[in-house]
Structure 1
Amino acid sequence: MSYFKRETMNMDTPKKYFTLSIDDGVTQDLKIIEILKKYNMYGCTFNINTGLCGANWKWVGDHIGRPDVTHLRFTEEELRGGIYNGFDVVVHTLTHPSLSMFDNDPNSIRKEICEDAENILSITGKKPIGMAWPGGDTEYTEKTIRLVLEHTDIRYARATTPTNNFNFPDYFMKWMPTCSFSDNNCLDLAEQFISAECNDNMLFYVWGHGYELDIYHSYDKFEKLVKLMTNSKDIIYVTNTEFYHLFKDVIPSWKD
């Protein structure tokens, strides 16, 4: 597996791309980062809510009958300490609302997205142009998408409905992943991706939340996924933002 170098890549040759996307900025990300660094795998994008720094969502574990599972976000001090150094950090909105609530309130959309982006810029030194939709695919509409494009600098947004395939997205603002790392078929898809003939460009896009690895006791599964990808010489890892920049001229953000 290799990290892409745009200046040396032949974009006319079909390639296999792998990327990860992880939501919420919770403390389980520390173990995820440890695994990623073990395999020198930096093709991962973290989507964080800077208006919720230090928030303890105890209800998440309680809701699933697992009070032992924490959902504790990093504090601002921890974020500024460099937890995500070397990784891509983008918007998950300031406070994780359903953005469709603001389909008639563009100022609130602007606040939720732009303030989160400004905070991320202050923390990382890099201005994010991407996001993950908070709450999943029921929490935004086509109108929401158009408002985000009109009132913010966001140009790609990850959704949650799995495609279970390796196709490129039709639109960057409704970027469907291949699967979650908690899906039962994740490792099967990884094996299919590795063995597939690469006659056209392919993308294996895996997403999830760090706390899910505690719920399902699946850190070993996650590590196996990363190991499979890094042991495959013909797979190129990219962050979500890097993939966007590679293909923004051929994949539109949204419908005309």
Structure 2
Amino acid sequence: MSRITKLFPEGKRKAFTLSYDDGVIQDKKLVEIFNRYNLKATFNLNSGLQGEEGACVIKDLVIERIKDNEVIDLYKGHEVAIHGLKHLSLTDIPKELMVEEILQDRKNHEKMFGYPVRGMAYAFGTYNKTVFQVLEALGVVYSRTVNEHGNFTLPSNYLEWNPTAHHNAPHLMEIAERFIEGEFHGLGLFYLWGHSYEFDLDNNWHRIEKFCEYIGNRDDVWYATNIQIVDYLDSLNRLQFSTDFELVHNPSAISTWIELNGTPVEIKAGETKKIC
């Protein structure tokens, strides 16, 4: 019998993604860094607060949100996701308000950016089983937590998607080196998250610059947004094999890749392919 394993696009075993919250003006500098190193990120915005006059202050740092007329161009090539209409803790409000907080945020983003918005990050990192039920009913397919694990495992529950590390993790570069230098027999995903204003707060923009320079522009890493990873893994899981594993059919709309006896094989969208 043929030995078949799953691969990321173009036969890669490693993927890297980023997630940054709140839609603040420091995102402008952060996006420039990401674009320079060909990285893909998901930005979680609060549409009910976006462009709002006034700012909050954290440790003497004035934090302002990006203006409505700037967000479309700024996040081009990246993903925009839900972070709650007014950035409320979902576990502290009635279910009716929870629905408003999520659904209206989704509607506003979709109207502004022109594509279905299906992802999210939990405001304040709070969630429970009731939140899961509401998200599923409202068409949200994934949501990021703040529970870092330091590893490169794929999510077992997309609505409780735990990241690898925050950008201020004490051993961030050691984690990055382990990801880049390591050999993966399965699929490995490095997921970094944070808030761009923290680089001003901690005066450590050099940290993300150094990290992105090291992690970016590598031929053996797939750089993707959160939703691209979800959709690709879903397509992998939908592959249909014949009982003798001589044929495989890809019913999805995107190409998928498998390794067949040590050789990467592409199965194009809608293709039925003889693999043995």
Q: Give the TM bin, normalised by the shorter chain.
A: 0.7 to 0.9
Aligned to 1:97: 88
| Structure 1 residue 84 displacement after superposition | 1.2
Aligned to 1:27: 25
| Structure 1 residue 86 displacement after superposition | 1.6
- Matches of 1:174 and 1:248 in 2, distance apart? 16
Aligned to 1:182: 168
User: Within the alignment, does 1:75 sit opposite 2:67 as a pair?
Assistant: yes
Secondary structure at the aligned position of 1:95 is classed as coil
Residue of structure 2 aligned with 1:148, choices 116, 130, 135: 135
Secondary structure at the aligned position of 1:184 is classed as coil
Tell which structure's C-alpha radius of gyration is larger: 2
Secondary structure at the aligned position of 1:212 is classed as helix
Higher normalized strand content (fraction of residues): 2
Residue of structure 1 aligned with 2:148, choices 155, 162, 165: 162
| Structure 1 residue 248 displacement after superposition | 2.8
Secondary structure at the aligned position of 2:116 is classed as coil
Aligned to 2:51: 54
- Matches of 2:86 and 2:196 in 1, distance apart? 18
| Structure 1 residue 79 displacement after superposition | 2.3
AA aligned to 1:16 is K
Runs of 4+ in 1 over 6 A off after TM superposition: none
AA aligned to 2:121 is A
- Matches of 1:79 and 1:230 in 2, distance apart? 24
- Matches of 1:78 and 1:239 in 2, distance apart? 20
Per-residue Cα deviation, 1:64-105 (whole angstroms, up to 9, x for no partner): xx31x222111223325x221221101001000010123xx3
- Matches of 2:210 and 2:115 in 1, distance apart? 30
Asked if the contact 1:44/1:88 (under 8 Å) is kept, the reply is: yes
- Matches of 1:212 and 1:195 in 2, distance apart? 28
Secondary structure at the aligned position of 1:30 is classed as helix
- Matches of 1:250 and 1:169 in 2, distance apart? 14
Higher normalized helix content (fraction of residues): 1
What are the within-5 Å matches in structure 2 for residues 28-47 of structure 1?
A: 28-41=26-39, 43-47=40-44
Aligned to 1:196: 182
Aligned to 2:196: 210
Asked if the contact 1:178/1:204 (under 8 Å) is kept, the reply is: yes
| Structure 1 residue 250 displacement after superposition | 6.9
Residue ranges of structure 1 left out of the alignment (5+ in a row): 1-7, 252-256
Asked if the contact 1:85/1:124 (under 8 Å) is kept, the reply is: no
Aligned to 1:248: 234
Asked if the contact 1:79/1:123 (under 8 Å) is kept, the reply is: no
TM-score (norm 2): 0.78
Residue of structure 2 aligned with 1:87, choices 52, 59, 78: 78
Say which is worse superposed, 241-250 or 115-124, in terms of deviation: 241-250
Aligned to 1:254: none
| Structure 1 residue 170 displacement after superposition | 1.0
AA aligned to 1:127 is P
Asked if the contact 1:14/1:198 (under 8 Å) is kept, the reply is: no
| Structure 1 residue 14 displacement after superposition | 6.1
Residue ranges of structure 2 left out of the alignment (5+ in a row): 1-7, 238-276
| Structure 1 residue 57 displacement after superposition | 3.9
Secondary structure at the aligned position of 2:99 is classed as helix
